[in-house]
Amino acid sequence: MREVVFDTETTGIQVSEGHRMVEIGCIELINRVETGRTFHAYFNPERPMPPEAQAVHGLSDAFLAGQQLFRDACEELLDFLEDSPLVAHNAAFDFAFLNFELGECGRLHVPRSRMIDTLALSRTKFPGAKHSLDAMCARFGVDRSHRIKHGALLDAQLLSQCYVELTGGRQIGLGLAEAPADKGPATTINYDITRPVRPPRPHAASPEELERHARFLAQLTDPVWLMGTTAAA
C-alpha cells in the first residue's frame, strides 16, 4: 500500500486571511516503509512574510522571492501524490492550504477521504497526553536533535516515523548489524574443569544422637504421626 506523508509551511494560519503556502515536503511510504522517494519545493507566496511566521520556519521574503510559484510545480506535485492516502499532522490545516493552492491553479481539490490525521490518531491512542510532533518524537524515541526550526521535508520525515509507530510500530534503532569481517579460523579454548574426587562423607546418626532423638520424641504429647492410631486400636 502506498501512502504519502507530507507537511507544509505557510505565511500564517488562516487561508481565509490571505495566507499562502511557502514550502511542502512529501515522503513516500510503501507498506509503511520509506522508499527514499521524496518531493520538496519552496514557493514564492507573492505576499510579505509576517515576522512571527518567519520565526517559526526561518523562510524570509528575500529567500522566497527567488523561488517558483506554486503553479509552476503543481503538476510535478500531483504526479508525486498520485491518488495515494495523504498523512499529515493536524491534517485539516495542511489540506486547507494544499487545496487552496490547487484551486488557484484550476485543479480539483484533494478529497478529505484521502486524509489521515496523525493528530487524531495520537489523541485516540494516548488520551490526555501531549500530541505535538515534538511530543510524539519523544514518546517513540525518534531523534529530532537536528530540528532547530520547522521545515516541511524534515517534519515530514519525522512524522513518517511517528506514523509507523502509531499504526503498529517497529522498534526504532533495532536493526541487523553487519557480520564482522573474517579474521581467520576460530580459536577453540579448552578449559580444564577436572577436580579430585572426594569420598562421600558419613551421614548416618551416631548411637548417642539416636538416643537423644528418642528422649526428645518421648516428651511429645499427641504427635501428629500417631493421630488416629489410638482410636483405631
Cell numbers standing for residue 102: 490547487
From 40, 131, 150, 203, the catalytic residue: 150
**203 catalytic per annotation:** no
**Residue 88: other Cβ atoms inside 10 A:** 25
The type of residue at 192 is D
33 φ, ψ to 5°?
Answer: -120, 130
Burial-class residue 34 by CB neighbours within 10 Å (0-12, 13-18, 19+): middle
Strand partners, 26: 6, 39
d(CA 85, CA 30): 11
Catalytic residue numbers? 150
